[in-house]
Amino acid sequence: MYSHGSESLIKQAREIQESELQKFYSRLVKLLQAKELSHETVDSLQRLHIILFATKFTRTLPVELQKRLLSLLSAPAEQIQVLSSAVLRETLPLSGQELNYNQENAAQLNSHAAALLLSRVRSNAFPLIYISILCFVKTSAYHVTLLSKKLVDWLRYASITQGGGASSGGFFTGPRLRQPMPVAELDGTVSGDFFTVLCVGQGFTEDQWMNVYSFSMLRHWLLTYHSVSTDDRSEVDGSVVSMVSATSSSSRLLPPKERLREKAFQYCQRLIEQSDRKTHRRIDAELQKACLVEAVGILDCVCVEDASLVYRTFPCIKALFGRLSSDLSFARVLLPIAQFYLNHGEMAAVDCESVWKVVFGRFPAELFNDAFLAHELLRFLRLNLESLQLRLPQYTRSFPNLLKFLAWNSPAVVDDFVDLLPSLVTTGTAVELLHTLLDLPCLSATLVLQHRSTCLPISDTGGRSLVSLDAFRNPSFRGLFLFLLRGEAGDTIDRLSTLHEQLAEAASWPRVVQCAQTVPVLLHIFFNTVVTIADQKLLAHLILVMLERSSLLLSLRTFIREVHRVFSCHLLRLCKLQPSLVMDQSHELVEFAGTTANVYNKEEMYTHVVWVLGEYLSVSCDSRCSVRLITSCFEALEAVLFEITSSTPPPGSPCPAPRVITTLMSALAKLASRSHDLIPRVSLFLSKLRSVTRCGSVTWCSDEEDLVAIVTRGEELWSLLKTPGVAQSVLTPSAHVTTPQWHKDTNVSMPLQMRALTSLTHSQ
């Protein structure tokens, strides 16, 4: 019984007139619009709660007031939260109100908001929305336990008869045909087990819809709340449906979370069994695949939470893989299976080799043009990168296959490979991986040819025969293309120039051009990674690869220029890191620098090779350096410098860059300062250069300012070499000095210290 005062308040609340109530609503909305809530606002909220509580029927509040109350659920004051939640519990939700909940504001909700949502879940109003919200709400252990019990009921104990939609059968349909019919399997047979999302019928009951909703959010629920501490008492006093169920009596003795895991396990096992049934419609077959993806993911979750379920689950997963592995139309299902093997295969001591042959072998080789699979597989690799590196050597060996996704659709997946590439760089794969990155445009062209060869006639859409497609089908070139299409690391090729000739027309294909644009970025990542793991022998090998491959690239002008720029940058970096690398590859570097043609078609790289020879070919950097080697290098550079400054450039070639000429002069001066017998030779050349330029213009330099800069550099070097002791101290780097040196040929102009020394020599 209520007190006399309480009864009076309830009576007043029940007798309030509608007009007065609407005025009260309007006044409350104005109060709630204030920045700070006053005591009057709190009193009005309490009064509103009494009015709604005392009314025999549930009221619907005005839209504006309802929105204001919803916003108060996240108010800083708990009293306001409690009042708002209590008021909203007594009202009907607005039509479409569920759409106002989303993940952003749901994440800010508290236990009072969760209680409100859960109260509406009990009434099954807007179930999918509210269950989904609870997956994002930081709610209490009580609510987790309560909804876990509800999920058990919805998943396992939904009715197995069709809903009311089964009554529509035509004009002459009699009452007997409107009797409830059992739900059916996708193949049309009557379902003999509990209801799942793969059961069909003319209509569904409310609890069957809850079954579908529950399955759709089950994995997220398990991932979100598996660590929440809940009441571990058994569920004998739990849900009504569970109590009257005659099956699974032992599982009802489990705590709520464990029981939910058990029912989720049974549900997914049944889905896997149902997925083997023949379907009559394509859409049903797609539904089977989607449910398999979700079912395997849920089984993975429950096994992560409870390792004892691994041994019960693996036979089913293994049988499923055996059934689906030969059919690549199930590729999106096989990826969750691979995740299950990766997470639990070691514990169950099962052979996973066949799984990785499909994932790293057949997927990239046969489905490289499947954008969805590319996204899913690369996401799988990124999420499991640490485990793959530690436990699966197949992963790093499969880079030729994985790069097919990049070669086919570079813009869409380049970000994935920016993350993945460092994990593919090992001491065993570095050299071949560098070659493969440089061959990516060729791989892109080959994939296009492979796709055209299987999908299109021999001639293209314009009727013009493609030379590259003919070559792709030609047995004499087949080995070259098969090399590019290889699935694992380990092969080599020595006919790249022939391959480039056959693919010359592909240089203008959009897919190939896009692929080529990603290579410089990946090369930077490659070199930044390899310096952290490689020894000197490997770094020396990589320098050799850079020198060789600078002439063996698919003929895309911008691509070649950018690759040379990357090579130049990292050649300089490697030699600064380990100057003795110049000695290790001195023969190849001198041969490269002694080739005059490189001045015109590899300016960037040529300049840096000459610079490292002049800078690091010294006894102070490597005791193996001899006078004979210095003289040999000097003669090679001298011949090139003499040739380019005494003749016109080859037809179609521009004049040599001033930076090339000044770098050659500086390198000769450096080498001469370490072998004084060479000083007269370089001094003679520099003096001739000065006298030749005084006669007027020269054929090897078309810009007057550039010519003045070259002559100025020559005069400075000539003056410096007059005092060999000073020249050696200035031009020879110290093996132990890491600070910037006096003389660095990064610009055309000489450093200030060099100019000072020059002025001193002139004044003597």
DSSP 358: I
What is the SS3 assignment for 726?
helix
Contact 718, 730 (CB under 8 A): no
Domains of the chain, by residue range, sit at 1-95+104-120, 140-162+182-227+254-306, 308-391
pLDDT at residue 68, as a whole number: 83
Average pLDDT for 164-193: 67
Cα(77)–Cα(259) distance, rounded to whole angstroms?
A: 37
Distance separating alpha carbons of residues 361 and 350, to the nearest angstrom: 20
- What are the pLDDT digits (tens) for 706-723? 888 888 888 888 888 888
Segment 265-291 shows an average pLDDT of: 93
Q: What is the DSSP letter of 701?
A: B
* Predicted local confidence at residue 99, as pLDDT: 37
Read off the pLDDT of residues 304-341 as tens digits, 9 standing for 90 and up: 999 999 999 999 999 999 999 999 999 999 999 999 99
Instruction: Report how far residue 463's alpha carbon sits from residue 459's, in angstroms, rounded to the nearest whole number.
Output: 5
Q: pLDDT class for 464, splitting at 50, 70, 90? A: low
- Distance separating alpha carbons of residues 690 and 588, to the nearest angstrom: 32
The 10s digit of each residue's pLDDT in 376-414 is 999 999 999 999 999 999 999 999 999 999 999 999 999
- What percentage of the chain has pLDDT greater than the value 70? 80
The predicted-structure confidence for 690-707, as pLDDT tens digits, reads as follows: 777 676 677 888 787 888
Q: Say how far apart CA 112 and CA 140 lie, in whole Å.
A: 10
Averaged pLDDT of the chain: 82
In 258-389, DSSP assigns E strands to: none
At residue 465, the 3 state secondary structure works out as strand
Check pLDDT > 50 for residue 746: no
What's the whole-number mean pLDDT along residues 90-96?
Answer: 64
Q: What are the pLDDT digits (tens) for 241-270? A: 443 343 444 555 778 889 999 999 999 999
Instruction: Copy the structure tokens of residue 126.
Output: 């807007």
Is the Cβ–Cβ distance between 228 and 255 less than 8 Å? no
| pLDDT value for 337 | 97
The separation between CA 658 and the C-alpha centre of its own chain, rounded to angstroms, equals: 43
- pLDDT one-digit tens code per residue, 348-381: 888 899 999 999 999 999 999 999 999 999 999 9
Give me the amino acid identity at 51.
I
Question: Which residue stretches of 33-181 are H helix?
Answer: 39-54, 63-71, 78-89, 103-106, 111-122, 127-134, 141-156
Alpha-carbon distance 241 to 239, whole Å? 6
Measured between its terminal Cα atoms, the distance across the chain in Å is 119
Over 70: is that where the pLDDT of 77 sits?
A: yes
Q: Cα(235)–Cα(149) distance, rounded to whole angstroms?
A: 8
Point out the least confidently predicted range of 118-132, 355-369, 742-756. Answer: 742-756
How many Å apart are CA 96 and CA 102, to the nearest integer? 13
* pLDDT at residue 171 tops 50: no
pLDDT for the residue 655: 86
More confident residue, 557 or 689: 557
Structure confidence by residue, pLDDT tens digits, 9-48: 676 777 777 888 888 888 888 888 887 788 888 888 888 8
The average pLDDT across 742-749 equals 40
Question: Would you state the pLDDT for residue 532?
Answer: 95
Q: For residues 678 and 631, is the Cβ–Cβ distance under 8 A?
A: yes
The H or E element that residue 761 is part of is: helix 752-763
